[in-house]
Amino acid sequence: MKRVIIGTAGHIDHGKTTLVKALTGFDTDRLKEEKQRGISIELGFAPLELPGGQKAAIIDVPGHERFIRHMLAGAFGIDMVIFTIAADEGVMPQTREHMDIIELLGVSQGVVAITKKDMVDEEWLMLVEDEINEYIGKSILKGAPLIPVSAHTGEGIQELLEIIARLAAEVKEKPAFGQARLPIDRVFTIAGFGTVVTGTLWSGQLKVGDVLELMPAQRTVKVRTLQVHNEKVPTAYAGQRVAVNLQGIEVADIKRGYLLATPGYLNPSYRVDTRLRLLSSSSRSLKNWNRVRFHLGTDEALGRVVLLDRDELLPGEESYAQLVMEKPVVCHKGDPFVIRYYSPVTTIGGGSIIDAEAPKQKRFKEDVLDELVMKEEGSLYDVILHEMESNSESIFTPAELARKIGHVEQDIKDELQQLLDDEKAIAIKSGEYISIYGLNLINEKIVATLSDYHRQYPLRQGYPREDMRSRFFSKINSRMFSLIIKYWEEAGILASSNNHLRLASHQPSPGDKESQIMDGIMAMINEELFTPPSLEEIKARFKIDDTDFMEMLAYLINAGKLVKVAQDSYFSSQAIEAGREMLGAYFAQEKELSLATARDILKTSRKYALPLLEYYDRTRFTRRMGDMRVKMG
């Protein structure tokens, strides 16, 4: 059965609450002060069963100008409106402000209930109907049915119910798939159950046992029980009024304006990019950096308006604007919002969110405005490609793109497949994508870095892989960086060994001068195989500075000509093999080898024999047992 949320709207004392009671049997004024003063102060809620069995929920909003912020909290998320105008007063100030809000939120389905019919005669009623027809004809509810009713006598109530049922059947349901989002409008405690929050579920589903994220506090909570229409249910769907009994949090830690969402779906932000419209009825313009009150869902925040393409927005005009908040807000691309002037507090405009996590934007920049046009009006294919190419070093999952772009994940997957087919993106791993543009930029940076590095250090085997990632690509984790390197290795562009990167075409190669010096070094080291000269002795003979000398040593090690057996202790590979053969011959006759015996066999001193034996231990040629060594294998 279709899920429908109906909101009331209208001037104070125009009979909204009384009409809701006549329609549902529920009195939505629950506060003592509301009873005493005879006006609605807080939001009220009531289930409604329509002719034919359709179930809906009514949100009854206050009409007093002092409680417009409460009205706004209830108006977000409604599917249709019962707009009340009293027959004895006609169109009044909050009639107009409520209509402005309904228009800004895009609520075009509704019925106009002319209340208190019993308080006027037929002639007066006809005059009021003419006034209302003229007013409504210029509003978003143009063409909506007008039904005179009396909540006291019951006249017109059944006809109103039938019209509501007809309009409800035309409502387009909110998506019950995808990520869940429930703005919180009430928080209270029930003895024996604990913390309960209520709200209108905007998207997705909630199930008993679900783990959710409380935003913007970014705290994890668990759903203990759910109620819809005052009945316990295992699952609540988008488009329903829901009461959620939460586990793991106290009432004091939750405020109206917070929301429950699928973990990781939304992020708090101090800046949002928008298309902003100033109402034609606004009595004042909006200037850059004006302070405003921002309303979205059940939340209200103070912020400043940054007009991106002008200095002043006049009534009836639209502009791209960034709103800079004084506290973090949580929203999603496409969300409608309303702004009210900071002081005096009046509704002046609203619009829709284009980027819910916007960077700081510069004014009067064509590239900024072009990007906003793309994000707002581009096809899903173009928007995904733009997002991926704008964040060229990022690797995305469909879920991440769905959150950033504000679209259904399955549609994102379909467009990603088209991007793959068009060779605009690549699946660097199953379910993880990067744009070809971004992949090429990464490659260009790596190739340029390695080219410079090879020129500067021609003897080195390559650039340390992790240093490359952390210095130039810190946004990419090690796992993803390895996948990117593997892609370019398979393409024959890069090569890697021993956690070093090099161009596939590069081989460490000394020049004639370096070759001559290194031949001399090896000859010097091989003069006495088991008593090699110290590094200082080698440098002194060949007059080499420290940097060049260490480069040559590294090259000789990588080339397999030299072996570092300990700190500042180097033997030629020829000595290593000769020693292995000599000790092997000894082990053919004896089971154990002492350090002193090894020293004598190699005709060297303890200074050289000890590090060499420890090297043989590490390479598993020998194994130390107490003061002796035995042959492995």
For residue 405, count other CB atoms closer than 10 A to its CB.
21
pLDDT, position 18: 93
Note whether residue 175 is domain-resident: no
Indicate whether 34 pLDDT > 70.
no
Note whether residue 373 is domain-resident: no
Q: Compute and round to an integer the Cα radius of gyration of the chain.
A: 38
Beta bridge partners of 56: 4, 48
Final residue before a domain boundary, out of 321, 350, 368? 368
Indicate whether 513 pLDDT > 50.
yes
What residues have CB less than 8 Å from 218, skipping those under 6 apart? 268
Q: Give burial (CB, 10 Å; 0-12/13-18/19+) of 58.
A: buried
For the chain, give the percent of residues with pLDDT over 70.
97
Residue 20 and residue 145 share a domain: yes
User: Mind listing the pLDDT tens digit for each residue in 236-274?
Assistant: 999 999 999 999 899 999 999 999 999 988 999 999 999
Residue 401 and residue 488 share a domain: yes
Note whether residue 566 is domain-resident: yes
| DSSP string computed for 596-607 | HHHHHHHT--HH
Which token pair is 267? Answer: 């992020």
User: Mind listing the pLDDT tens digit for each residue in 620-632?
Assistant: 999 999 999 999 9
Residue 140 and residue 88 share a domain: yes
Note whether residue 84 is domain-resident: yes
Note whether residue 176 is domain-resident: no
User: Mind listing the pLDDT tens digit for each residue in 126-162?
Assistant: 999 999 999 999 999 999 999 999 999 999 999 999 9
Final residue before a domain boundary, out of 368, 389, 406? 368
**Residue 352 φ/ψ, nearest 5 degrees:** -135, 150
Residue 302 and residue 241 share a domain: no
Residue 68 and residue 128 share a domain: yes
Domain that holds residue 281: 269-368
pLDDT, position 31: 41
| DSSP string computed for 476-497 | S-HHHHHHHHHHHHHTTSEEEE
pLDDT, position 407: 82
Indicate whether 65 pLDDT > 80.
no
pLDDT, position 39: 39
pLDDT, position 295: 95
What residues have CB less than 8 Å from 526, skipping those under 6 apart? 572, 574, 575
The rounded Cα 267 to chain-centroid distance in angstroms is 5
CATH number of 613's domain: 1.10.10.10
Residue 546's pLDDT band (cuts 50, 70, 90): confident
Indicate whether 364 pLDDT > 60.
yes
Residue 337 and residue 468 share a domain: no
Final residue before a domain boundary, out of 261, 291, 324? 261
Residue 113 and residue 57 share a domain: yes
Give the C-alpha distances (Å, rounded to integers) separating 49 from 5, 58, 219, 391, 633.
Answer: 12, 10, 36, 50, 86
For the chain, give the percent of residues with pLDDT over 90.
80
Residue 248 and residue 195 share a domain: yes
CATH number of 223's domain: 2.40.30.10
Which token pair is 102? Answer: 């309904």
Note whether residue 311 is domain-resident: yes
Residue 19 and residue 138 share a domain: yes
pLDDT, position 176: 81
Residue 273 and residue 222 share a domain: no
CATH number of 62's domain: 3.40.50.300
pLDDT, position 143: 96
Indicate whether 37 pLDDT > 80.
no
Give the C-alpha distances (Å, rounded to integers) separating 330 from 181, 246, 306, 531.
Answer: 11, 20, 19, 72
Note whether residue 174 is domain-resident: no
- Give the H/E segment covering residue 584: helix 573-587
How many folded domains does the chain comprise? 5
pLDDT, position 633: 76
Averaged pLDDT for residues 493-502? 92
Indicate whether 313 pLDDT > 50.
yes
Residue 163 and residue 112 share a domain: yes
Residue 571 and residue 466 share a domain: no
What span, in angstroms and rounded, lies between the C-alpha atoms of 25 and 47? Answer: 9
What span, in angstroms and rounded, lies between the C-alpha atoms of 380 and 375? Answer: 9
Which token pair is 439? Answer: 């992949």
Note whether residue 573 is domain-resident: yes
What span, in angstroms and rounded, lies between the C-alpha atoms of 521 and 508? Answer: 18
